[in-house]
Amino acid sequence: MDDLAEIRERKRQELQARLSSAAPQPAANGPITLTDETFEQAVASHRALVVDCWAPWCGPCRILSPTVETLAKDYRGRITFGKLNTDENQEVPMRYGIMSIPTLLFFKDGELVDTMVGAVPRPYIEEKLRLLV
């Protein structure tokens, strides 16, 4: 019986370590990288989250990327920014009906409050960010 308890405890610790390492961590100088597996936890654990759905081959995504990087730095501590590669992660885009990229998803307190499609200028994004702060 003692061996069984020891095995259970070891398995519990392994699972806890695996789950905590899979959780997206706030980035010091930019957006967090999200996957289909980490997306829900990120939405639930950040009061305000903006997710940039993008792909490496997408020209407008490459245009928008520096803006998202800068916003992540400028709003650090108030709004978390994440990036989701839609080529590598297809569950989330399907769930949210994303048909064009780049698409920004704006979440507040775990709820989707707005979306924005296209490589839009920073002032337009900041208008939406007011919904989150």
CATH of 31-129, one of 3.40.30.10, 3.40.50.800, 3.30.56.10, 3.40.640.10: 3.40.30.10
* Among 6, 75, 18, CA closest to 47: 75
The whole model's pTM is what? Answer: 0.78
pLDDT band at 133 (very low <50, low <70, confident <90, very high): confident
Domain ranges within the chain, ordered by starting residue: 31-129
pLDDT band at 5 (very low <50, low <70, confident <90, very high): confident
DSSP 3-state of 119: coil
pLDDT in tens, 116-131: 999 999 999 999 999 8
84: left (phi over 0), alpha (psi -120 to 50) or beta: beta
Enumerate the active-site residues. Answer: 58, 61
Note the pLDDT tens digit of each residue in 49-83: 999 999 999 999 999 999 999 999 999 999 999 99
| Alpha carbons 23 and 40: distance in angstroms, whole number | 10
Query: pLDDT per residue over 26-48, tens digit each?
Result: 445 789 999 999 999 999 999 99
